[in-house]
Amino acid sequence: MTTNKLHSAKPGQLQVLHVEDNQLDAELVARALRQGGFEVSVVVVQDEVEFTQQLRACRPEVILADYNLPHWKGMEALDVLRREDLDIPMILVSGALGDMTAVECIKRGATDYVLKDGLARLPEAIRRALHEKNLRRLRKQVDEDLAKKVDELARSNADLEQFAYVASHDLQEPLRMVANYTQLLAERYRGKLDDQADKYIHYAVDGATRMQTLIQDLLAYSRVGRPEIELKPTECDVIVSSAIKNLYAAVRESGAIVTFSSLPTVMANSSQLQQVFQNLIGNAIKFRGANPPQIQVAAEEKEGAWVFSVADNGIGIAPEHVAAIFTVFKRLHTRQEYPGNGIGLSICKRVVERHGGRISVTSNANGGSTFVFTIPVGTQAQPEGRFISHEHDGRYFVSR
Ligand code: ADP
């Protein structure tokens, strides 16, 4: 059926809006569609006003347009579709249309073109256009779902981080009370009650102290995840020296030799980056082998990033554990073998990733390990699209 009255298609009918001034051509097109297996409802219009009106009224699934009309140009239908923010395939159905014009029309957004003396091709062109539109819709749906999931994940991560921060912060005070008073108990009553009581008090003091360090570590870990960090030019020579100074007792006791030369200045949060060096050098000393620790800190510029390495001659790490050791509280040894809570490397990972870099470890041929991490040169790092650095008042920030 061909009409120029407002109406909508019956279920199962393909709703077509046809821009055409020639009634006979319109009838031929409708016939070609029926012959091609379509149940159609065609609305024919001749100018922009009618087109816009019918577009809104009958929500067509496909638009057919003659290229040359006395009062309008078929291609301008595309501008109306854009204005109305509608994704409806538009096929040009025209008399002779030069190749150049046809290509130009496709470039401008027409889905296809069919010549009036080749209408048998029209049903197939429509089927393909509808199929492509369907794929576009599905792809858009998938993209939207994905964006929603990423958003939900980011929000729930932020909630969790906030929770961990508040919990570890607020737990400190009552825990300090428990630790102080059990210590007081130990000092006052050690040796005055029976052996069993001494043992219990010792367990209580030990447990409270351990929990305190755990909570402090957790708080330190949460702090690294705060939404925004300030980046400043950071001289790595200086922060590595400070890290070594802070480790003075362990360096002296182990006879460690730490070497580094001409490290670069990078845009970073100095105290966080110093913490990374301190944790890595501290571990290199703690997990030493039979010989005194030899530790080399080095850096080289590669593909837009500074690649830092901290290599040791310690006990090494089995390949199957290299991924796990960067997770919170993951340790490969008991506290009796080596002290620690298993949070040092997770802090390193977090700091490095907040700066837009990556961290990994490999085993050395001599049995030791080499930790490698990157810090992007400059401030434009946007790892996995998650962090954006920006300048404000001459200061640089990285935020989520
Ligand atoms: P912690 O030092 O408190 O155990 P970390 O998160 O710093 O926690 O390290 C996790 C684990 O990774 C350590 O328990 C250890 O098994 C392993 N590890 C870290 N650094 C080294 C190293 N330089 N050599 C060998 N093993 C290491």
Asked if 246 and 123 sit in the same domain, the reply is: no
The pLDDT score that the predictor gives to residue 6 is 45
Task: Report yes or no on 192 lying in a domain.
Answer: no
Query: How far does the centroid of ligand 1 lie from the alpha carbon of residue 287, in Å?
Result: 7
Which residue matches tokens 């351990």? 210
Task: Report yes or no on 152 lying in a domain.
Answer: no
Q: How far apart are CA 111 and CA 63, in angstroms?
A: 10
Task: Report yes or no on 177 lying in a domain.
Answer: no
Question: Does 256 sit in the ligand 1 pocket, CB within 6 Å?
Answer: no
Task: Report yes or no on 202 lying in a domain.
Answer: no
Asked if 131 and 265 sit in the same domain, the reply is: no
Task: Report yes or no on 160 lying in a domain.
Answer: no
Ligand 1 atom closest to the Cα of residue 326 is 6
Query: How far does the centroid of ligand 1 lie from the alpha carbon of residue 331, in Å?
Result: 6
Q: How many domains does the chain divide into?
A: 2
Between residues 134 and 386, which one has the greater pLDDT?
134
Host domain of residue 248:
227-399
Task: Report yes or no on 277 lying in a domain.
Answer: yes
Domain end residue (candidates: 123, 138, 153) = 138
Main-chain phi, psi angles of 270, to 5 degrees: -55, -45
The pLDDT score that the predictor gives to residue 7 is 54
Q: How far apart are CA 253 and CA 292, in angstroms?
A: 10
What's the rounded mean pLDDT across residues 45-64? Answer: 94
Task: Report yes or no on 268 lying in a domain.
Answer: yes
Taking only the tens place, the pLDDT of each residue in 306-329 is 999 999 999 999 888 888 999 888
What is the CATH number for 285?
3.30.565.10
Taking only the tens place, the pLDDT of each residue in 197-247 is 999 999 999 999 888 988 888 888 888 877 677 889 999 999 999 999 999
Question: Does 348 sit in the ligand 1 pocket, CB within 6 Å?
Answer: no
Taking only the tens place, the pLDDT of each residue in 330-340 is 888 888 888 88
Ligand 1 atom closest to the Cα of residue 279 is 7
Question: Does 220 sit in the ligand 1 pocket, CB within 6 Å?
Answer: no
Query: How far does the centroid of ligand 1 lie from the alpha carbon of residue 308, in Å?
Result: 18
Task: Report yes or no on 353 lying in a domain.
Answer: yes
Asked if 124 and 269 sit in the same domain, the reply is: no
Nearest-CA neighbor of 125 among 42, 29, 25? Answer: 29
Residue 76, token pair as written in the block: 């301008």
- pTM higher than 0.75 for the full model? no
Q: What is the mean pLDDT of the chain?
A: 87
Domain end residue (candidates: 138, 168, 199) = 138
The secondary structure of the chain, three-state, reads CEECCCCCCCCCCEEEEEECCCHHHHHHHHHHHHHCCCCEEEEEECCHHHHHHHHHHHCCCEEEECCECCCCECCHHHHHHHHCCCCCCEEEEECCCCHHHHHHHHHHCCCEEEEHHHHHHHHHHHHHHHHHHHHHHHHHHHHHHHHHHHHHHHHHHHHHHHHHHHHHHHHHHHHHHHHHHHHHHHHHHCCCCCHHHHHHHHHHHHHHHHHHHHHHHHHHHHHHCCCEEEEEEEEHHHHHHHHHHHCHHHHHHHCCEEEECCCCEEEECHHHHHHHHHHHHHHHHHCCCCCCCEEEEEEEEECCEEEEEEECCCCCCCHHHCCHHHCCCCCCCCCCCCCCCCCHHHHHHHHHHHCCCCEEEEECCCCCEEEEEEEECCCCCCHHHCCEEEEECCEEEEEC
Asked if 393 and 263 sit in the same domain, the reply is: yes
Asked if 130 and 234 sit in the same domain, the reply is: no
Asked if 238 and 385 sit in the same domain, the reply is: yes
Asked if 112 and 246 sit in the same domain, the reply is: no
Ligand 1 atom closest to the Cα of residue 368 is 24
Domain end residue (candidates: 94, 123, 138) = 138
Question: Does 367 sit in the ligand 1 pocket, CB within 6 Å?
Answer: no
What is the CATH number for 90?
3.40.50.2300
